[in-house]
Amino acid sequence: MVSEEKETILWEVFIQPKNGLSHRHCGSIHAPDREMAILSARNVYSRRGEGQSIWVVRSIDIVSSDPDEKEETFSSDDKIYRHPTFYDVPDDVGHM
């Protein structure tokens, strides 16, 4: 009944709503090649003019940081001097 078929390639989809904004991840789709990936991405993620440019990238090509090393990779609690509020400036200097 259900034939054994091979799984199509999974692509991540990024849509740019308009010039001046960056492409933003909006989900994924399955397609056998890049042309069909762009076509399907348009049909699935932009039925109401949400975008003017689409990027698709094979999901397996995305390299990501290890979520278990979130603390080590991203912690900057010990570097509070990187934030403007670390520095004392008299109130009457005004906005700086």
Partner 1 sequence: MAKERKEKIASLEAFQEKIDRDEKIEPKDSMPEAYRKTLIRQIGQHAHSEVVGMLPEGNWITRAPTLRRKLSLLAKVQDEAGHGLYLYCAAETLGKSRMEMNQELLSGKAKYSSIFNYPTPTWADIGAIGWLVDGAAIMNQIPLCRCSYGPYARAMIRICKEESFHQRQGYEIMLTLARGTKAQKEMAQRALNRWWWPSVMMFGPSDADSPNTENSVKWKIKRYTNDELRQKFVDAIVPQAEKIGLTVPDKDLKWDKKRNNGQGGYAYGEINWDEFWRVVRGDGPMNNERISAKQKAWNEGSWVRAAAHAHALKKQTALQAAE
- Of 23, 22, 25, 15, which Cα lies nearest the Cα of 46? 15
- For residue 39, the surrounding DSSP H or E stretch is helix 34-45
Query: Could you say which of 18, 33, 58, 89 contacts partner 1 (CB under 8 A)?
Result: 33
Cβ proximity to partner 1: between 68 and 88 the closer is 68
| 16 touching partner 1, by CB under 8 A | no
Instruction: Report residue 33 as tokens.
Output: 């090649």
Nearest approach, Cβ of residue 20 and partner 1 (Å):
22
Cβ proximity to partner 1: between 2 and 96 the closer is 2
63 sits in the region (left: phi over 0; alpha: psi -120 to 50; else beta) called: beta
Given the rule CB under 8 A, which residues bind partner 1?
A: 1-3, 5-8, 10, 26-33, 36, 43-45, 47-48, 64, 67-68
